[in-house]
Amino acid sequence: MTVTLGVDLGGTKIQVVAITNRRVVGEARHLTPQTDAQAVVDEIIAAAREAAGTGTVKAVGVGTPGSITSEGHVSMAANVPGFMHDVPLGPSVSKAFDGVPVTVDNDVRAASMGEFHRGAGRPFRDLLGVFVGTGVGGGVIIDGKLRRGRGNAGEIGHTVVRDGGRECTCGRRGCLEAYAGRMSIERAARRKQADGAQTVLFDVMKRKGRDRVTSSVIAEALDRGDELTRSLIDQAVDALGIAIANAQNILDVEAVIVGGGLGDRLGPPFVRRVAEAMRPRLRVPEHEPAVLTTQLGDLSGAVGAAVIAGG
């Protein structure tokens, strides 16, 4: 059996799928090492081999945060250990699989393509994908084609929603990611706790054996009525509403698909709240886009990476 592999690299997990004839025939999910770039690359290769099983790999697609060169090198990925500086990700993966072609693209653009071709985006020609995870990223598809621009199209996470607001991982202030990304939510919660605020968030994190605040940790803290977590998620929802409305006022797409670790875990109620926060800020509310959850869930990015690689 010949397979195309799709890899979704995130700050906390590496998800890989093997695809044949548009069907997922193998999967692997590994934790992202929190040490250095080489450990991350090695883990990607291990997860890819596990997903491929006994299949013959004909191509690999990798979705990754950061800035990507045409040769498949990655840098400026603040949420992946060691990936702020140049990492030859594409060449390393290709070498591990005997020189097969490897396509490296932005992780959220890949996830948007996954939903467009195989998920919730199939009825539409134009859509905006917004994926809320460790950070916040976006993908724009216009008239059926992924918009890459000069390499940074779709970076909704770094649009400013609060002038002079919270510091973002990119070094600027007030970005959407500084309010809705899991890493930024954790940092804000730690600051509030240090100032005396009460929260069960970090107790839940420790009980689950996590060293980071994950989407499931946030979900449980909300279920337990934690006021600090609720307040931070309220701010995330409002920031998402502002950013998506601004993007919609420019792009006028048919649909917005909200996913990522946090979007998928909190599900339809969270996405409905984002739509409600967006609505009053639309220039033409009678042309409101459909605001949808993903259909592929955790597999959006990996399936999309495989699609980009020809799978």
- pTM of structure: 0.92
Considering the domain architecture, whether residues 166 and 223 belong to the same structural domain is answered as yes
To the nearest 10 degrees (0 to 180), the angle between helices 182-194 and 227-251 is 140
Cα 310–chain centre separation = 21
Considering the domain architecture, whether residues 287 and 143 belong to the same structural domain is answered as yes
In a domain, 117, yes or no: no
Q: Which tokens is 8 given?
A: 């979704």
Contact 140, 17 (CB under 8 A): no
Considering the domain architecture, whether residues 35 and 51 belong to the same structural domain is answered as yes
DSSP state of 288: P
Per DSSP (E only), the strands in 32-158 are: 56-64, 67-68, 74-75, 102-106, 127-132, 136-142, 145-147
Considering the domain architecture, whether residues 265 and 128 belong to the same structural domain is answered as yes
Considering the domain architecture, whether residues 97 and 35 belong to the same structural domain is answered as yes
From first to last of the 311 residues of the chain, give the pLDDT tens digit.
Answer: 999 999 999 888 899 999 999 999 999 999 999 999 999 999 999 999 999 999 999 999 999 988 899 899 999 888 899 999 999 999 999 999 999 999 999 999 999 999 999 999 999 999 999 999 888 999 999 999 999 888 778 999 999 999 999 999 888 999 999 999 999 999 999 999 999 999 999 999 999 998 889 999 999 999 999 999 999 999 999 999 999 999 999 999 999 999 999 999 999 999 999 999 999 999 999 999 999 999 999 999 999 999 999 98
- Cα–Cα dist 298/89, whole Å: 22
Considering the domain architecture, whether residues 83 and 127 belong to the same structural domain is answered as no
- Cα–Cα dist 311/146, whole Å: 16
Domain count, the chain: 2
Contact 143, 125 (CB under 8 A): yes
User: What is the distance between the terminal CA atoms of the chain, rounded to a whole angstrom?
Assistant: 13
Q: Which tokens is 22 given?
A: 């548009």
Domain of residue 55: give its range.
Answer: 2-111+300-308
